[in-house]
Chains A and B, each alone.
Chain A
């Protein structure tokens, strides 16, 4: 008796909800998908996609799950001798040990932890490691990492961060160029903007809100370019009036 081999693959960029069939046959379940028997289903709401036999969903919603190597922006929320607890917008709070904050050993007799980092401080950090049996560990020892002293923080859905960065950095480079602001993107959905000029900072925040709303649509890069050009000319017009 011959066995009929079924093979099905959903069209790319189809809107799917949890439980929708993505593929059947010799396929693997990638992110936001799961396999039961020979069928791959979506586990999140989003757009379907595949790279070869790896079928996955680009999620429109979801929390941040830390990965080793990720750059994140976190807030110090608790302090113990030798470590700080950091909120990184994830179901799992992160831990930063003094050994990963200083280039020298921490001398508890001569100095206070608050002198290094206090509750309420924001930090730019890197995730060292994470497995779901224990909380993620951070480091701020690399150059460029450490306490954030000024700027505005914007929150986006973590799954939209790749769209903010764009293919080979196309979107983020466009924004940095056109607004003149320094934009630091945390993989955990927090973005730090610091500009020389509060109006340009405010414009950048507006642009990020648009990307948050329209990340899953096409033609976004062009619309953003046009939007920034329009808003900048309005700002320049107001300036020349003064």
Chain B
């Protein structure tokens, strides 16, 4: 077997190309409600990924024949901006984007109480402004927040994260280089409270044991992502209350209604 050239190594002494350890998640930051026209929105920075998610609905469905009599019609669109990738991407949706649109819908739909809005429509739009591996997981994570921000009734949030195999090791959250040069990638999404896996894909080569290990690791990643989602929502809605309470403390006023 030819030796891998030194420059091809993705892990050196337990450290990955971006400085992370095998089980480290990239830095994630979530902003709630950055867009004004959309009914709900969220912006996520996940490592070097920069992704916007917007939700419109519930609203009337157009064209009308798509409306369903017993539940809301749920649609998702995953799209990458031309400047989001290293080489400029043509604006028209590629086959990959169309598949990811479907896979995203399948990941999010189980969490939505669609039966509460028969004949109406709910649309999720994900726009990748900059991509660096793991965009479908980041997109789903942001879209779940945007759905909450839009006041869509849901059973649970959806948190997503991927794991994979690089240089013979199972690692968490692959960046673009690791995904391209690695051996396997397993993106997963879960409804954390209810425990149901709503997205599961795999590409590459893994033994049965390796796959189970990767799945376990990805699910742990999802839990961490869920905590960040909860933190972002709490910050967005509750901070106002906290700052108001502080103001009143400073002025020495009693709280009365």
Contacts and interface: CB of A to CB of B under 8 A. Distances in A.
A214 B253 contact: no
A87 to B, nearest CB: 10
A17 B148 contact: yes
A19 B240 contact: no
Nearest to B248: A219
Contact of B192 (A19, A91, A159, A167): A19
B244 interface: yes
Contacts, number: 103
Contacts of B87: none
A221 interface: yes
Contact of A19 (B57, B117, B157, B248): B157
Interface in A1-52: 15, 17-21, 32, 34, 41, 43-45
Going nearest first, the 7 A-B pairs with the smallest beta carbon separation are A62-B151, A61-B151, A19-B156, A91-B58, A19-B193, A18-B154, A91-B120
Interface in B140-156: 148-151, 153-156
B237 interface: yes
Interface in B235-257: 237-238, 240-241, 244-245, 248, 253, 255-257
Interface of A: 15, 17-21, 32, 34, 41, 43-45, 59-63, 91-93, 132-133, 157, 159, 167, 213-214, 216-223
Given A216-B241, A217-B241, A18 B156 contact: yes
Given A44-B151, A217-B240, A219-B256, A18 B157 contact: yes
B233 A17 contact: yes
Contacts of A45: 148-149, 151, 233, 237
A19 B194 contact: yes
Given A91-B59, A219-B253, A221-B257, A132 B151 contact: no
Contacts of A60: 151, 237
A34 B241 CA distance: 26
Given A18-B155, A219-B257, A63 B241 contact: no
Contact of B255 (A17, A59, A61, A218): A218
A159 B234 CA distance: 18
Contacts of B253: 219, 222
Contacts of B241: 216-218
A19 to B, nearest CB: 3
Contacts of B118: 132-133
Given A15-B234, A18-B157, A219-B255, A93 B117 contact: no
Given A34-B113, A219-B253, A219-B256, A18 B244 contact: no
